[in-house]
Chain A
Amino acid sequence: MTVILNQSFTGISIGAVLLLIALGLTLTFGQMGVINMAHGEFIMAGAYTTYVLQKSISSAGLSLLVALPLAFLVAGAMGALLEWLLIRRLYTRPLDTLLVTWGVSLMLQQLARDIFGAPNVQTHAPDLLIGNVSVAGVTLANNRLFILGLALLCVLGLTLILRLTSLGRRIRAVVQNRDLAEVSGIATERVDRTTFFIGSGLAGVAGVALTLVGPIGPTMGTNYIVDAFLVVVVGGIGQLKGSVITAFGLGVLQSVLEYSTTVSVAKVVVLVAIVAFLQWRPQGLYTLRTRSLA
């Protein structure tokens, strides 16, 4: 029983990381339909922001707290700049967007190598996040609990923004009917840039979280980008709750399989399961139903 609970918690914590890295994509890919291959490099930018901050702020706890909003701003600004410079010219050309952003991703990786060097670097976790707590025989790592809390907080924040604010209404309106939004008085280009800013900023936040569980390197984003896209596609494009369920579902599945087999076999089984699932439900876990899409 304890084993099952331990593995479940490991799965949930893997799911929390998946959710954090995919959350920004639910906006830029899920809502706007942009395949941004440089999303992983915004995660990297967030991680390096934490690294740079730790050099000037000695307290690991304080630097982590400052890093969260700062990484959001840094990665968000990078995303908004990318949208303004390139992506807005390519909205009707998804394949070109994929290629262009892949190129940008390679350039950003090289830029990171030039600035910080090729070898991976590490940050120090705050004392509070080192160690474990035991609840009913289940060992919960503090850093994993923090990431879980952060992921849930980000989901809550994003949900509230999309559901209750005027910005959220504008974002949803532009996604649903761009021309109608424009003739309703909404400056759709500005909404696009803001959406991209928030989506990319969330990747920055994910980057901060990842510094707690692994090293920081120029190619760290590439390790996560495929998983992030998988979460959004399986969850159902444009559906936040689908991404949440998928992230935790895949996390637990992977963790249970890793326990009973090996890491590689678990990865293969999860990918095969995703392919099979998408054959059965190409639209993903959740879809929006309406009487008319007009």
Chain B
Amino acid sequence: MLEINTIRAGYDRTTVLHGVTVAVPKDGVAAVLGHNGAGKSTLLRAAMGLIKPTGGTILLHGEDVTRLAPHQRVARGMAYVPQGQQSFPHLTTAENLQLVADGRPDGKEAIAEALDLFPVLRELSGRRAGLLSGGQRQQLAIARALITRPRLLLLDEPTEGIQPSVVAEIEETILALTRRGGLSVLLVEQHVGFAMRAAQQYYVLEAGRVTSSGAGGTESEQTVRAALSV
């Protein structure tokens, strides 16, 4: 589905990723784990096209998308939920969703499906996104990404900084989405337990390099924890 091959990327003159190779299986979940500053978010930003890699390639369904703009990648079935519950703060919840649905023939149905996943957003449709709680904004962010009907979803720490009562809800929704089929996920996560429950494949990133990788599942949890504690 997605093949990131020996990608090198960074900001200005600082190289953050030193030849990272990560693959997301079709209809499967690959988790990227690592400490703060390891380059996890940079990897997703490079995969989405927000930063231009200085080396390596990114293939989506075998097509080289390395030089495509982010919106062109969205048109090819990629969606991205960035870190930090990002939204368009001065647009209402409904406008945040409608914005992505605009121009899509199945926009109405896509919004309805996204609202079924996160019913709380229905009650908040008229409220400006900047006034929502962190958890609500993250639900809005995931809903917005799903409206594009992606085949590949990039999730950057979807439960970070969210009140515990909503974390479980978001985790369950993500697991349900991945089990439904037709969606591949590249998940960046600090919570090892959740990441390993969701993933078929894991990668541990340290200082911009993959230092450990293997099959996912709860049985690999200890291996990953050991790799991260080094």
Give residues 170-215 of A contacting B (CB, 8 Å): 170, 172-173, 176-177, 179-188
Q: Which residues on the B side are within 8 Å of A166 (C-beta)?
A: 98-99, 102-103
Q: Which residues on the B side are within 8 Å of A173 (C-beta)?
A: 88, 91, 99
For the complex, is B168 an interface residue (Cβ under 8 Å from A)? Answer: no
- Check B80–A170 contact: CB distance below 8 A: no
- Check A183–B130 contact: CB distance below 8 A: no
For the complex, is B144 an interface residue (Cβ under 8 Å from A)? Answer: yes
Proximity string of chain B (86-122) to chain A, C-beta cutoff 8 Å, 1 when within and 0 when not: 1111110001001110110000000000000000000
- Per the bound structure, the CA–CA distance linking A187 and B69 in Å amounts to 9
Given the known interface contacts A185-B100, A291-B131, the answer about A177 and B71 at a Cβ–Cβ threshold of 8 Å is: no
- Check B71–A188 contact: CB distance below 8 A: yes
For the complex, is A281 an interface residue (Cβ under 8 Å from B)? Answer: no
Question: A241 CB to closest chain B CB, in angstroms?
Answer: 13
- Per the bound structure, the CA–CA distance linking A170 and B96 in Å amounts to 10
Task: Tell me the nearest residue of chain A to B75, going by C-beta.
Answer: A185
Give residues 61-87 of B contacting A (CB, 8 Å): 69-71, 74-75, 79-80, 82, 84-87
Given the known interface contacts A176-B91, A177-B88, the answer about A183 and B100 at a Cβ–Cβ threshold of 8 Å is: no
Interface centre among A169, A185, A187, A294 (most CB of B within 10 A): A185
- Check B88–A183 contact: CB distance below 8 A: no
- Check B130–A182 contact: CB distance below 8 A: no
Task: Tell me the nearest residue of chain B to A187, going by C-beta.
Answer: B71
Could you tell me which A residues sit within 8 Å of B by CB distance? 166, 169-170, 172-173, 176-177, 179-188, 288, 290-294
Shortest 9 CB-CB distances between A and B: which pairs? A290-B130, A185-B74, A166-B102, A290-B89, A182-B70, A183-B80, A176-B88, A169-B99, A183-B70
Could you tell me which B residues sit within 8 Å of A by CB distance? 48, 50, 69-71, 74-75, 79-80, 82, 84-91, 95, 98-100, 102-103, 128, 130-132, 134, 137, 144-145, 148
19 A/B residue pairs, CB under 8 Å, sorted by A: A169-B99, A169-B102, A173-B88, A173-B91, A177-B87, A179-B50, A180-B87, A180-B88, A182-B50, A183-B79, A184-B71, A184-B99, A184-B145, A288-B89, A290-B89, A290-B130, A291-B89, A292-B89, A294-B85
Q: A179-B50, A290-B128 are in contact. List 8 more A-B contacts (CB 8 A).
A: A166-B98, A172-B91, A176-B89, A180-B88, A185-B75, A186-B99, A292-B85, A293-B130
